[in-house]
């Protein structure tokens, strides 16, 4: 009877779509743009939780914090494993340049880049029945460059080069005024010509590769090609290049080619598109906003109204936007009262319930009560959550009733993840779904909006010598403090066992964190670890005081009539005082650390309220 039931079940699955994990027993070959959590671990984890087998390259050949990616080895790995896949989701940046950061810093010839791209194109000829979903990026033009993620000269001249490109972007549509022309010439005089040539030559190569990829999409090489605009603000070199690239693909159906802001969400977005294609599923999405900027909001780093960005992302997954039908997913997009966004670490991001936020939360709860999956895209602030919105979800016990929650990095990153996780959540088990939400809350809300600013302050104080570190290096100390805080948020606000939460800083920088929510409580409680280290240090220093006093007492016993030589007595007393001072200094350091931690706790609301 059991065998018969299984056979019947398989026949039903073949006739119906989108009915649960069993409908998604497919294998996806995935090449991410690097090994950062948002591109690799979080993306793969979401797909696996939705029932997919995901095969990925060895991490050692992906681009990482301390090493470049290996395009030739990646191409070889893809060729050796493509036959196992039902679909391929490929970062062309990895397969051509080595990775996203590598695409900004390489010194490769155009011939080399084209030869590598040909290997990607040949996959379609060799595996005609395996759809390829490819993504690439327009090289970013940030205001300033972080160390190691741009050419070295960008640390010195990045702001000048950004302003120069902004002026040239304006020249594409209108004339510069006299002041702008003066600024243009001044920048040209300041920035060494070899740096400008290097930057623009690399951008030109990126443009040529992307032009060819768009033609590949037009010719049917890819089932879908997504061109992401990395950190794409208004009037930048990136926005100028994106405009012309989009013009070259204007005749390609939107079901085949999409061009929109963002980079880090593209892998998961295309995995979701592959999922929908497997199941012939075209989700209907309704979008709501609170009072304020709404769809006209132009977020930092995106360069266009968020309504346009959302529409492009819905098209990318093969969905449609509806305002008249019952949706398969309600996308609740939390925008600010104005039409622009500020940083989540700013002072104004504290939990104070506004009427507009309350009404927005009421809409969300009503939809959930009506059985409509709701995914929140929290973009009231850049690079982190809105504390007021999360407080409302906490207060109303809505945190784990959502299909998905995202409020990280750029608005487009959150949009892509929010749509993707919202769609894929329907296939997840209850535990997998809860862990996905926990990960996002701890990463986007706890760390990005609250803990990260605290850790930055600790870094400055440690480097200035005003706060003590207990780990060998500054970065390991900061990682420990981060883990301690994130585990506290997990236990205090989410009711999650903190011993299931591990936290690392995988790229040895504070911009991103990796939150690993584990099925078993096998993670050390970092607050206990730190307290043991502190207690051990106090004990060691107390022993030094005791030893110094003992030395003094023994010297007195050995001396005639208890009278120690004055010089010896002074030395022994100095040793006692020095040991005592060290002990007192350690106590003061620990008291200061406790005060810093208490101040950090006061940033959020009191538990239970």
* CATH class given for the domain over 24-153+195-280: alpha beta
> 550-574 burial, b for 16+ CB within 10 Å, e for fewer?
eebeebeeeeeeeebeeeeeeebee
pLDDT in tens, 248-272: 999 999 999 999 999 999 999 999 9
Give the integer Cα–Cα distance in Å for 212 and 210: 5
Give the integer Cα–Cα distance in Å for 427 and 52: 10
Give the integer Cα–Cα distance in Å for 414 and 411: 5
CATH architecture of 281-428: 3-Layer(aba) Sandwich (3.40)
DSSP state of 429: -
Contacts of 93 (CB under 8 A, 6+ apart): 33, 99, 100, 102, 103, 136, 137
Give the integer Cα–Cα distance in Å for 474 and 470: 9
pLDDT in tens, 79-133: 999 999 999 999 999 999 999 999 999 999 999 999 999 999 999 999 999 999 9
7 backbone dihedrals φ, ψ, rounded to 5°: -65, -45
pLDDT computed for residue 146 by the predictor: 67
Please tell me if the domain spanning 24-153+195-280 has the same topology as the one spanning 281-428. yes
Q: How confident is the model at residue 233 (pLDDT cuts 50, 70, 90)?
A: confident
Q: Is residue 78 predicted with pLDDT exceeding 80?
A: yes
Encoding tokens for residue 310?
């959302």
pLDDT computed for residue 5 by the predictor: 35
Q: How confident is the model at residue 13 (pLDDT cuts 50, 70, 90)?
A: very low
pLDDT computed for residue 609 by the predictor: 75
pLDDT computed for residue 518 by the predictor: 96
Instruction: Tell me whether strands 404-406 and 374-378 are parallel, antiparallel or unpaired.
Output: parallel
Q: Got the DSSP string for 35-46?
A: SSTTTTHHHHHH
Q: pTM here?
A: 0.91
Place of tokens 């299984």: 6
Cβ distance 508 to 149 under 8 Å? no
Give the integer Cα–Cα distance in Å for 282 and 224: 15
> 496-528 burial, b for 16+ CB within 10 Å, e for fewer?
bbbbbbbbebbbeebebbbbbbeeeeebebbbe
Q: Give, for 284, the enclosing helix (H) or strand (E).
A: strand 284-288
Q: SS3 for 411?
A: helix
468 backbone dihedrals φ, ψ, rounded to 5°: -85, 145
Q: How confident is the model at residue 337 (pLDDT cuts 50, 70, 90)?
A: confident
CA distances from residue 231 to 64, 76, 303, 408, 558 in whole angstroms, order as listed: 19, 31, 8, 14, 75
Q: Is residue 14 predicted with pLDDT exceeding 70?
A: no
pLDDT in tens, 361-417: 999 999 999 999 999 999 998 888 999 999 999 999 999 999 999 998 889 999 999
Q: Is residue 295 predicted with pLDDT exceeding 90?
A: yes
pLDDT computed for residue 16 by the predictor: 32
Q: Sheet with 404-406: list strands edge to edge.
A: 320-321, 284-288, 329-334, 374-378, 404-406
pLDDT in tens, 455-513: 999 999 999 999 999 999 999 999 999 999 999 999 999 999 999 999 999 999 999 99
Contacts of 296 (CB under 8 A, 6+ apart): 305, 306, 307, 339
Q: Where are the domains of the chain?
A: 24-153+195-280, 281-428, 539-600
Give the integer Cα–Cα distance in Å for 251 and 234: 24
């Amino acid at each position: 009877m059991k065998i018969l039931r299984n056979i019947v079940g398989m026949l039903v699955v073949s006739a119906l779509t989108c009915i649960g994990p069993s409908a998604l027993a497919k294998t996806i070959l995935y090449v991410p743009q690097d090994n950062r959590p948002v591109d690799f671990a979080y993306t793969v984890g979401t797909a696996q939780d939705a029932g997919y087998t995901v095969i990925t390259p060895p991490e050692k050949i992906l681009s990482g914090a301390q090493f470049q990616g290996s395009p030739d080895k990646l191409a070889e790995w893809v060729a050796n494993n493509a036959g196992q896949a039902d679909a391929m989701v490929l970062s062309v940046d990895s397969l051509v340049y080595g990775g996203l950061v590598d695409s900004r810093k390489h010194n490769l010839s155009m011939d080399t880049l084209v030869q590598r791209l040909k290997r990607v194109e040949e996959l379609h000829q060799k595996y005609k029945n395996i759809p390829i979903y490819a993504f690439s990026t327009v090289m970013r033009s940030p205001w300033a460059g972080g160390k190691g993620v741009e050419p070295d000269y960008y640390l010195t001249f990045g702001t000048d080069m950004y302003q120069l490109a902004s002026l040239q972007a304006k020249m594409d549509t209108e004339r510069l005024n006299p002041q702008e022309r003066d600024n243009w010439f001044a920048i040209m005089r300041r920035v060494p010509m070899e740096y400008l040539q290097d930057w623009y030559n690399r951008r030109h190569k990126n443009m040529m590769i992307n032009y060819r990829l768009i033609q590949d999409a037009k010719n049917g090489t890819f089932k879908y090609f997504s061109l992401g605009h990395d950190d794409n603000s208004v009037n930048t070199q990136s926005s100028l290049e994106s405009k012309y690239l989009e013009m070259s693909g204007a005749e390609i159906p939107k079901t085949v080619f999409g061009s929109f802001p963002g980079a880090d969400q593209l892998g998961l977005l295309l995995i979701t598109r592959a999922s929908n294609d497997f199941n012939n599923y075209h989700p209907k999405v309704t979008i709501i906003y609170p009072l304020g900027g709404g769809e006209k909001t132009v977020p930092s780093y995106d360069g266009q109204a968020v309504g346009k960005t959302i529409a492009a992302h819905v098209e990318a997954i093969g969905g449609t936007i509806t305002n008249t039908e019952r949706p398969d997913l309600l996308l609740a997009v939390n925008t600010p009262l104005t039409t622009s966004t500020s940083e989540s670490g700013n002072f104004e991001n504290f939990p104070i319930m506004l009427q507009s936020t309350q009404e927005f939360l009421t809409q969300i709860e009503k939809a959930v009560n009506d059985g409509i999956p709701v995914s929140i895209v929290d973009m009231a602030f850049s690079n982190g959550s809105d504390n007021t919105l999360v407080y409302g979800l906490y207060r109303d016990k809505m945190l784990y009733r959502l299909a998905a929650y995202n409020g990280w990095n750029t608005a487009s990153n959150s949009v892509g993840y929010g749509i993707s996780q919202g769609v894929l959540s329907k296939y997840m088990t209850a535990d997998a779904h809860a862990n996905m939400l926990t990960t996002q809350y701890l990463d986007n809300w706890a760390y990005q909006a609250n803990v990260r600013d605290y850790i930055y302050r600790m870094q400055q104080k440690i480097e200035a010598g005003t706060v003590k570190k207990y780990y060998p290096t500054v970065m390991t100390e900061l990682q420990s403090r981060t883990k301690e805080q994130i585990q506290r948020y997990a236990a205090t606000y989410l009711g999650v066992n903190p011993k299931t939460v591990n936290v690392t800083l995988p790229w040895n920088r504070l911009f991103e964190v990796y939150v690993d929510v584990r099925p078993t409580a096998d993670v050390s409680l970092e607050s206990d670890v730190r307290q043991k280290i502190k207690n051990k240090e106090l004990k060691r220093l107390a022993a030094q005081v005791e030893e110094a006093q003992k030395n003094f007492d023994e010297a007195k016993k050995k001396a005639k009539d208890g009278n120690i030589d004055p010089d010896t007595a002074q030395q022994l007393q100095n040793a006692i005082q020095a040991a005592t001072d060290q002990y007192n200094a350690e106590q003061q350091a620990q008291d200061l650390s406790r005060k810093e931690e208490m101040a950090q706790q006061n940033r959020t609301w009191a538990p239970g309220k």
